[in-house]
A and B are shown apart, each in its own frame.
Chain A
Amino acid sequence: MIELNNVSMKFRMANDRIMSLKEFVVKKITGQIVYKEFVALNEVSFTIQKGEVVGIIGGNGAGKSTLLKIISGILTPTEGNAKVSGNIAPLLELGAGFDIDLTARENIFLNGAVLGYSKKYLTEKYDEIVDFSELHEFMDVPIRNFSSGMTARLAFSIATLVKPDVLIVDEILSVGDAKFQHKSSKRMRELINGGATVILVSHTIEQIREICTRVVWLERGKVRMIGNTEEVINSYMSYVNVSSQEESNPTDLLKYTEKLYTPTYINKIDNQYFIVDCWHHRVIYNDNLLDPIKDWKTMNGYFSIPHSIASDGQVYLVEDTKNDRIKVLRKMGNAFNETQQIGDIGGQPNKVIYDSVHKRFYGISASTQEAFVLKNDGKDIIVEKVVRLDYLGTAYVRALSLIDGNIYFVSGPGKITVAKSSDLSFDLIGEYIVPFELQGMNDIAKIGSYFYLSVYQNGNGDIKPRLVRVKDLNQLLNSYEDVYSLLELKGVPYYFSFIDDRVFLTEIDTYSAIRSFKVVDDQIVDLKVHYDCGSSDEFSRKRRKMK
């Protein structure tokens, strides 16, 4: 636990730093010494509980580094006090205390000692350090002959050996070449998720978003805001973006959190409801559907235009569509934290579903027509297969649905395509031609004896929302039933989901809403509107544009 009580740090800066005795005496006598007080931290108070991962953000000179130094005991505050329990591992700079004239082996022990490890511990872990750094054959070489990358690798391997109670990280998350960067960022994640209390300073907001459960925003030595990661970061980003033009009120910028803007998907997993609030770049959750949106909690992490969420009860997969990757989250205490990212699965993954029979996830990357299969091996999510589906042509494929054991892709190139999924071959089983006005499909679902289709655009790409149903997909060209007005829709119907005994349908773009209905003997009954957010306001539009 870390407790800061009214911590202030003042530096007395003489106009010109006096470095010589003569200068000092002369100036003291002639009264030329003018001290200027510089307040690096001004009455900063907050408490960090054990196991929390806290990010510190703020511009240059906001006092972030000073704060870290006070917490790690390097600086003594001028006023107030900092209480830290447990052993601290400051990863402030890699290779502190390295001596270039010593060999790598000698430096491991020297640097390890500087970082506070015991001889016994270092001797035990020596092989592990060498293995991780992959510098086996260079252990007896003085590090003056090392490249900077090799030195960084060695330093990283030593510094991250710890199992500390408190981990202090200042902007170091990956070093070395691409391969080692991957390895080191994984190691950092393990350390951070290892149960230690973590304090992270970073200028990469993305990192803070992914890792931290709480964020402290410092501005000119004062705590400007402290709280939930998303809220603080969003206000910070808006502040950074607009502060040059106008002084804005942080609460104003959070107004968007009261509404939904293009909610693409709703789902219920383990008694928790999740709404993918696509154009607000977030996923929110709550245990009931009656609370207003502003009371819902936000999953940690930034998702650029996410579309859906899928879960096997252990992990939660959400698309980071714009960044071409899937984020894997796990529930930790009361929060959902990112534990993994999955890339190389094609462009703009748009939908992920979970197949509870085969215990695997299927997904589709919209712009490259690639289907991917992911599997939870108990520890990590692994990519089992990524396959480009030529029969999808160049269509923008928004969804895949598991219907009667087969996968249905929409939109195909003017058709609905059915593929075999049980053996992961994705072999084409059938195709159904779709009339012009329905060609820009969003989703397909089978409810009762009908197939339901939600439609965004017609074959020319003009936005013409439709919701239709048909019993036999072969009949689609001849006749179908339009249920758009029956459901009292106003915007673009998007994804279907099945929660308890009801069908949920999200409504996006021009009009944001979440509706549900029941289907009894193919009759649509019991319409309900859960959230009706209407068209977007300026706060939502601002948020959509924000990165």
Chain B
Amino acid sequence: MIKKAIAVQSKYGFLLSQLVKRDFKTKYRRSVLGILWSLLNPLLIMVVQYLVFSTLFRFDIPNYAVYLLSGIVMFNYMSEATTQSMTCIIQNASLINKVYIPKYIYPFSRVLSTGVNFLLSLVALYVVIIATGMDITFSHLAILYGVACMFVFILGVSLFLSSLMVFFRDTQFLYSIVLTIWTYLTPIFYPESILPAYMMTIMKFNPMYHFIRFIRFIVLHQGIPDPKAWLFCALFAIISLSIGVVVFKRNQSKFILNL
């Protein structure tokens, strides 16, 4: 198993790195600011939402900028990665038709390349954390765990969506609606305290809620999240990946017939 994984890594690792590089390079090609947008984009969204929500709705959240930005950065990664991955199989139809490459490489590379983007926006987050004078402690290392779980979760969703998309092209339109609903169902810009009790029950089933909560707890309270939070993160990651892998594996040989 491990031997096989290493063999695959050595064989397709280079391809993967090339595909990630390609995605990343072409994303900002021909734009003046280029890679800076990865930093600027979440910051600007944050500024807008900060102005809107701190003046209009006046949520009573301490360190609202960090609260808001951490949510935006995490959720954006999820939505960007899954949306990009969803279409990757059909977009690479010509390649799939011509060269044999394990098909999971395509969604995987998209999740990785948007991941690079995400890492840059994490830098933006830290800029804000430092700017607002908050402490950075060793507990921040736990963020890695949260990010890793979220990565696995996103990979699972991406595998699932990309295979679904091959068979039903409506998926992309449906999913954009799902994403909108999801945004509002996740406490990104509002505090979870404003939610009624039944909504909190629903919230327990929202994976993004757990990932964001996990990380917010670290950056806002400089503490280590409780074991239950760790467990939930892992659980959602594993469930999502399992579903994604099973669906993808079962259908990948049929992709080419539907492209």
Contact of A74 with B168 in the complex, beta carbons under 8 Å: no
Known: A75-B256, A113-B14, A119-B14. A90 touches B168 (CB 8 A): no
| Chain B residue nearest to A20 in the complex (CB) | B170
Number of interface residues of B (CB under 8 A): 29
CA distance A17 to B169 in the complex (A): 11
Contact of B256 with A99 in the complex, beta carbons under 8 Å: no
Contact of A74 with B98 in the complex, beta carbons under 8 Å: yes
Contact of A110 with B168 in the complex, beta carbons under 8 Å: no
Which residues 1-46 of A have a CB within 8 angstroms of B? Answer: 11-12, 17, 19-22, 24
| Chain A residue nearest to B16 in the complex (CB) | A113
By a CB distance below 8 angstroms, the chain A residues around B25 are 101-102, 106
By a CB distance below 8 angstroms, the chain B residues around A535 are none
Please count the residue pairs between chain A and chain B whose beta carbons lie under 8 angstroms apart in the complex: 75
Residue B257 lies at the interface, judged by CB distance under 8 Å to chain A: yes
Contact of B99 with A96 in the complex, beta carbons under 8 Å: yes
Known: A20-B169, A21-B174, A102-B25. A97 touches B30 (CB 8 A): no
Contact of A114 with B100 in the complex, beta carbons under 8 Å: no
CA distance A73 to B253 in the complex (A): 10
By a CB distance below 8 angstroms, the chain A residues around B30 are 101
Q: Which one, A21, A101, A113, contacts B18 given CB within 8 A?
A: A113
Which residues 77-129 of B have a CB within 8 angstroms of A? Answer: 94-101
Q: Which one, B18, B96, B98, B100, contacts A110 given CB within 8 A?
A: B18
Residue A72 lies at the interface, judged by CB distance under 8 Å to chain B: yes
CA distance A73 to B95 in the complex (A): 13
Residue B29 lies at the interface, judged by CB distance under 8 Å to chain A: yes
CA distance A7 to B140 in the complex (A): 57
| Chain A residue nearest to B94 in the complex (CB) | A96
Residue A132 lies at the interface, judged by CB distance under 8 Å to chain B: no
Nearest Cβ on chain B to A42's Cβ, whole angstroms: 17
CA distance A101 to B253 in the complex (A): 30
Contact of A74 with B169 in the complex, beta carbons under 8 Å: no
Contact of B97 with A74 in the complex, beta carbons under 8 Å: yes
CA distance A21 to B170 in the complex (A): 6
Contact of A74 with B256 in the complex, beta carbons under 8 Å: yes
Known: A11-B257, A20-B169. A74 touches B96 (CB 8 A): yes
Nearest Cβ on chain A to B98's Cβ, whole angstroms: 4
Q: Which one, A88, A96, A102, A142, contacts B98 given CB within 8 A?
A: A96
Which residues 314-351 of A have a CB within 8 angstroms of B? Answer: none
CA distance A22 to B170 in the complex (A): 8
| Chain A residue nearest to B92 in the complex (CB) | A97
Nearest Cβ on chain B to A65's Cβ, whole angstroms: 10
Contact of A20 with B99 in the complex, beta carbons under 8 Å: no
Contact of B99 with A109 in the complex, beta carbons under 8 Å: no
Contact of A113 with B253 in the complex, beta carbons under 8 Å: no
Known: A90-B98, A96-B94, A119-B14. A101 touches B169 (CB 8 A): no
Q: Could you give 19 example pairs across A and B, Cβ below 8 Å? A: A19-B169, A21-B171, A21-B174, A22-B170, A74-B96, A74-B98, A74-B100, A90-B100, A96-B94, A96-B99, A101-B25, A101-B30, A102-B25, A102-B26, A106-B22, A109-B18, A110-B19, A114-B99, A119-B14
Q: Which residues of A contact B (CB under 8 A)?
A: 11-12, 17, 19-22, 24, 69, 72-76, 88, 90, 92-93, 96-97, 99, 101-102, 106, 109-110, 113-116, 118-119, 142
For the complex with contacts A93-B94, A97-B99, 4 further pairs of A-B residues with Cβ separation under 8 Å are A72-B100, A90-B99, A106-B21, A116-B15
Give the 7 A-B CB pairs with smallest separation, nearest first.
A73-B100, A113-B18, A113-B15, A21-B168, A20-B170, A96-B98, A76-B253
